[in-house]
Structure 1
């Protein structure tokens, strides 16, 4: 992993997560390493099943065990290895120091409690506020995320909010205790484009105001282009490329990254171009990877790709890639 210019608030090394099923083990996350710098927004992209969400849920013990098992790795946060922390230590960190926003707020918010209770609960538990102070802070949080008439809406239940407003409530809950890190797992996927734009604008404003670091998980490269500082590209449970957002979009080094970028819709003049697709299917992660997971879909695949799993090498400032092919020469790398 390459060192960032700013101190890391989260440092993940060689993370490996396996699911045990009746048909055998599924190797969902394979030796993933990355860091998150103070105040930066790290975009994590890849197709469904690439390991994005499982990686982030592994960090703070959100996966059910069994069937999930975090088999290897280190997750350094505030001088603590989260993978060696007990459940009480993790509970003290979740919500208080690391906030998590899930994709579907309707299934994440409890339908039998009003929004005020769900906002006040972490404030009373983690920050020790009494009921009066917690209520005042809850109103401030709803106002912070742009929900009008916040005082009255504390009494409302999740079903009384629109999809976009529910997502704002989820963000408010995640921000309640001023976390150092916010992990957002495809929080705008189920929203229409207008609401999505409002949520993205809100997150940008909150990040600027609060100075927290953010991990934004998505399959939408257009979203990442507009908000991220750095991008992590995942495929087959592995990181295949990472780098600064402008560098990676302008000069992608991995065939999968290039293929992802080609699937983004373009309009030139009065005509829209035909959408491109990545041929083939994502790999079955039924065993320890011993070859490049993208080889069967890769136009640049060579015999070596079926014999070895590429390691990440530096290809520029804070830019690395796991690939034997060099797009600059059109030939195999001498590594």
Structure 2
């Protein structure tokens, strides 16, 4: 990642609300982050923390209604994605920004062969002829490690294993040489061996192609192995962000610390129990006016119940949204 390089993606004060019967759900609350060329940003948090909704908000992938991006800017270079018209946004999706969804079986269309599904963005976004699109589709399948690629273009999604379907999804996302690749928990449904293969594939592709990647996951072990920087989300907002080594070595938010403590240890005894985070995630029915983690936090103070903490810098591109001073206690 080039030092001092301008962000390829810059998100500021993003707010997304779902209108539901009886009120609103504030799913994303003032989320800000950037992504630099060639960087891999890991986004972690429990289910319901706002990870996927945040990333889908960037590209207008949420149904409207009930979803509404109420505030913020999403700058891709010098263009604000949130003010783009429908046609311009279609050109960005699959063109400049690729998206790999969580479940390849439901993301791939079962009635079209994979060749058609890879060739379609090539013809729409890059204007390639059928022959050139086919040749490029073969090349993409070879890049993601699918053997006998030309023959397999004619196969349908059900004829591929789970890991191979995920490779097809990555090939589709890479088809138009995107500046940014967003991967939404792409290995969650895969077994550990196939998951490791996909992670190695992404590392290799990132090195070869130099694209910036946002990797959404609940697995801190995955993030430790592939990310440059980590964004920890809780209750629809950013709890902490920083370089991966710094954040793992010196977590500042009680939630980050709790997540790290739930990870299984390599060295231990059979009697050691897995740690859990007590309590339940917050209800997001109103705009937050207090810290969303306060009811589960061992360090909660009076101010936490009346003031939502703002992110404050800790140095070295590391910041945290917390009233508690983490230097008061060791992990």
Task: Identify the residue that residue 61 of structure 1 maps to in structure 2.
Answer: 60
* Offset of residue 316 of structure 1: 1.8
Instruction: Map 1:186-205; keep pairs closer than 5 Å.
Output: 186-205=185-204
On the 8 A contact 1:265/1:273 being kept in 2, the answer is no
Task: Identify the residue that residue 38 of structure 1 maps to in structure 2.
Answer: 37
Post-superposition Cα deviations, 1:259-312, rounded to whole Å, max 9, x if no partner, equal 000011113156473110000000000001000000000000000000100000
SS at match of 2:230: strand
The answer to whether the aligner puts 1:223 opposite 2:197 as a matched pair is no
SS at match of 1:316: coil
SS at match of 2:327: coil
Between the aligned partners of 1:325 and 1:169, the Cα distance in structure 2 is 45
Post-superposition Cα deviations, 1:88-130, rounded to whole Å, max 9, x if no partner, equal 1100100000000000000000000000000000000100100
Task: Identify the residue that residue 333 of structure 1 maps to in structure 2.
Answer: none
SS at match of 2:95: coil
Between the aligned partners of 2:143 and 2:90, the Cα distance in structure 1 is 25
Post-superposition Cα deviations, 1:39-90, rounded to whole Å, max 9, x if no partner, equal 0000000000000000000001000000000000000002110011111110
Give 4+ residue runs of structure 1 displaced > 2 Å after superposition.
Answer: 269-273
On the 8 A contact 1:59/1:75 being kept in 2, the answer is yes
Task: Identify the residue that residue 213 of structure 1 maps to in structure 2.
Answer: 212
CA RMSD of aligned residues (A): 1.2
Instruction: Map 1:256-335; keep pairs closer than 5 Å.
Output: 256-268=255-267, 271=270, 273-330=272-329
On the 8 A contact 2:7/2:77 being kept in 1, the answer is no
The answer to whether the aligner puts 1:23 opposite 2:22 as a matched pair is yes
Q: TM-score, normalised by structure 1?
A: 0.96
Between the aligned partners of 1:127 and 1:243, the Cα distance in structure 2 is 36
SS at match of 1:42: strand
On the 8 A contact 1:267/1:273 being kept in 2, the answer is no
Instruction: Map 1:131-150; keep pairs closer than 5 Å.
Output: 131-150=130-149
Q: TM-score, normalised by structure 2?
A: 0.98
Between the aligned partners of 2:328 and 2:40, the Cα distance in structure 1 is 32
SS at match of 2:232: strand
SS at match of 2:187: coil
Post-superposition Cα deviations, 1:6-65, rounded to whole Å, max 9, x if no partner, equal 220000000000000013100000000000011000000000000000000000100000
SS at match of 1:73: strand
